Chains A and B, each alone.
Chain A
Amino acid sequence: MTPMRPFGALMSVVRTYIVEDNPVILNNLTDTLEELTSVHVMGSAADEMAAVDGMRNDARAIDLVIIDVFLASGSGLAVLRSAQEMNLPARRVVLTNYATPDIRRRCAALGADRVFDKSSEIEDLIDYCSGIGDGSARAPAPVG
C-alpha cells in the first residue's frame, strides 16, 4: 500500500476521459480516482464512436484516457488505434478483465502506456494516476 499524499500538497489536475460502458464501474471508478488522486473526470463514452468523437473534440483538454477493452459497441482496441492515429497527446491506458500477455502486447503496439487488470491491478492504476498527478509517473511504461 502506497503512502497517502499529504493533504494540501500541490498536485496538478489530471484531466481524464474514461471509455467504459458499464455505469456501475464508471461511477465507482470516477469516485475512487477523484477521491484518492488528482484525477478529474471531464468526460466519458460508452462506445467506440462516441469515444473517438469525444477524444477528437477535446484533444487538448485531456491528459489521460482510460479505456476498457469491451465496450457497448465497437472495441477498446479500436479506440486505442484511433487515439494513436490522431496523435492524441494524452496518455492512454487500458483497463481490462482479461489481461493476457497477448492483449498487453497488442495494446502496447497500439500506443497504450499501461494495461491494468480490473480485478487485480486497481491499486496499480490508482498509483499510476497519482504518479501522473505529482509528475512521477514514467512515460512510456514498459510492457508488463
Chain B
Amino acid sequence: MRAMLTYPLQLRRPPPALIVALLLALLLFVGNEWAYQHAQDSINRLREQNTADQMVQLVLRRLVDAESAQRGYLLTGRTDYLEPGVDAQREIASALLQLRQLYSANPALLALIDTMADRIDEKLSELRETIVLHDTGRQTAALDLVLTDIGREKMQAVRSAANAMREQARALASTERSKVIRALDAGRLGIHAAMMLSLLLFIHFLHKSAALQEEQRSHARDLQHERERLESQVRERTLELSGLNDRLQLVREEERQRVARVLHDELGAILTAAKLDLVRLRRLLGRELADPAVSRLDHLASTLDDGIRLKRHIMEGLMPSALHNLGLREALEALADDFLTRTHNPTALELATVEVGERYRVIAYRWVEGVLQHVEQRGIATSICIGLRTADPDLFQVSVFDTGLDAEAASGALRSDNMIGLRNRIEAIGGSVAVSSVEGQGAEIVARLPLDREAQS
C-alpha cells in the first residue's frame, strides 16, 4: 500500500529526459505510420495508374477490334463478324466507366477522358454509319466512306486523345512516385533524427550517470572524513581521559605521601614528646608514687603506645615505608604478613629480588594490595600465592594466584574503579594486565610493568 501511494507521487514530476524519450517514441511512431500510409496510398494509386493505362490500351484494342469487325463485315457480309464489335463496344463502355471511376477525383483527367470518349463515340458512330449504309444496301457508299480518311482520322483522334490522357496519367504517376520517395525520405529523416536524439539522450544519460557516480564517491569521501574525524576525536578523548586518570592517581599518591609525612613528622613528634614526658614523670615521681598512680602512669604509657601503633598503622596504610626504604619485595612480604594475620588464609610467597625503579614500585604494590582486598572481601577460604619476578628484558611481573578464583571472578576483581584506574595507569606506562586460569585449580591475576632502571633510587 505504501509503495502504491508513493509511486504516483514520484511520477508527479517526471524527469525531463523521460518526457523527451516519450515524445521521441511518439514522434517515431507517428512519423513511421504516416510515411507508411502515404507510401501505401501512393503505391495504390500507382497500381491504379497501371490499371488505367491498361484500360486505355484495352479501349484502343477494342476499338481496333470494332474496326476489324466492321471491315470484316463489310468484306464478307456475315453477321458473325459483327459480334466481336458488339462485345468490343460493351467492353469499351465499361472500360470508360472504370476509367471515370478511377479518376473521379481528378477533373483534368476526367476532361481528357471525356475528350477521348467523344472521339471514341465519333469513331464508333463512323463505324456504325458504314454498317448502316451496308445494311441499307448502299455498299458502295459504305466502301467509299471507308476509303476516305475519315475513319483513319477519327482513329487518329482517338489515339491522340488516348495519348493525351495517358501522358497526363503518367505525369500523375510520376508525381505519385515522387510522393512515395518523399514519404520514404521523410521516414528516413525521421529515423535519422530519432537516432540522433536517442544518441543525444544516451549521452545525456551517461553524463548524468557519471555525475551521480561522482556524487556518490564524493558522499563516500565525506563519510570517510567524518568517520576519521570522529575516530580522531575518540582517540583524543581517550588520551585526555587516560592522562587525567594518570594525574588523578599521581595526585592521590602524592596526597597520601603528604599525609604520611605529616603523621610521621608532626604527629610522630608529638607522641614521642609525650612519651618522653612520661619517662621523665615516672623518674621524677619514682618511689613517691602510690600504686594507683603508678598503674595510672602505666596505663598512660600503654595508651600512648597504642597511639603510636595506630599512627604507624595509618602511615603504613598510606605509604608503606618498606616500599620507599627497602624495596618492593620487602613491601610485598609485609603485605602478605598483614593479609595472613587478618584472614588466616595460607599465603605463599615467590618473590625474586628485583630492582624496580621508585616510581613504579608504588603502582605494583597498589595493584597487589587491590587484588588482595578483593580476595579478602569475597570472604572465601582459599590459598594465595604472591609472586614477583622479572619478565622480558625490561619488565617485571607481580602476580596473585588464588585457588578460589575462576576466570570470571578474576575478571570481576578488575572491575572496581580502583583497579580500572590502576590498569589504565599500568597500560599508560607501557605495561599490561592479564588474567589466566586453570579449570578447577584457580586463577592468577598478573600485572607487568617496566623496570624503569634508569630512574631507580
Contact = CB atoms under 8 A, between A and B. Distances in A.
A118 B280 contact: no
Interface stretch (A54-62, A96-104, A135-143): A96-104
A25 interface: yes
A25 B279 contact: no
A119 B326 contact: no
A27 B273 CA distance: 9
A17 interface: no
B272 interface: yes
A29 B276 contact: yes
Given A22-B269, A97-B268, A102-B326, A119 B279 contact: no
B282 A119 contact: no
Nearest to A37: B283
A32 B272 contact: no
A122 B276 contact: yes
B265 interface: yes
A123 B297 CA distance: 14
Interface residues of B, number: 26
Given A98-B321, A98-B325, A119-B305, A126 B272 contact: no
A25 B276 CA distance: 9
A32 B280 contact: yes
A4 interface: yes
Interface string A104-144: 00000000000000111011001000000000000000000
Interface string A77-113: 0000000000000000000011010110000000000
A22 B273 CA distance: 11
Contacts of A123: 279
Nearest to A21: B265
B332 to A, nearest CB: 15
B118 interface: no
B308 interface: yes
A56 to B, nearest CB: 27
Given A98-B325, A102-B326, A118 B279 contact: no
Assign chain A's interface to a size class.
20 to 34
B232 to A, nearest CB: 47
A4 B282 CA distance: 10
B154 interface: no
A36 B326 contact: no
Nearest to A123: B279
B280 A36 contact: yes
Contacts of B277: 28, 32
Contacts of A118: 268, 272
B286 interface: yes
A35 B277 CA distance: 11
B275 interface: yes
Output the residue of B276, B280, B309 with the most chain A CB within 10 A.
B276
A22 B261 CA distance: 12
B321 A119 contact: no
Interface in B251-297: 264-265, 268-273, 275-277, 279-280, 282-284, 286
B323 to A, nearest CB: 12
Given A24-B270, A70-B264, A100-B326, A119 B283 contact: no
Nearest to B268: A97
Contacts of A29: 276
A3 to B, nearest CB: 8
A122 B268 contact: no
Interface in A1-38: 1, 4, 22, 24-25, 27-29, 31-32, 35-36
Contacts of B268: 22, 97, 118
A16 to B, nearest CB: 15
A119 B309 CA distance: 9
Contacts of B271: 119
Nearest to B324: A98
Contacts of A122: 272, 275-276, 279
A28 B276 contact: yes
A50 B46 CA distance: 141
A103 B309 CA distance: 19
Contacts of B265: 22
Nearest to B301: A123
B352 to A, nearest CB: 18
Given A32-B279, A102-B330, 6 more contacts: A25-B272, A31-B276, A32-B280, A36-B280, A119-B308, A123-B279
Interface of B: 264-265, 268-273, 275-277, 279-280, 282-284, 286, 305, 308-309, 312, 321-322, 325-326, 330
21 contacts: A22-B268, A24-B269, A24-B270, A24-B272, A24-B273, A25-B272, A27-B273, A31-B276, A32-B276, A35-B283, A35-B284, A36-B280, A97-B264, A97-B268, A100-B322, A102-B326, A118-B272, A119-B272, A120-B308, A122-B272, A123-B279
Return the 9 tightest CB-CB contacts between A and B, nearest first.
A28-B273, A24-B269, A119-B308, A32-B276, A28-B276, A22-B269, A25-B269, A118-B272, A36-B283
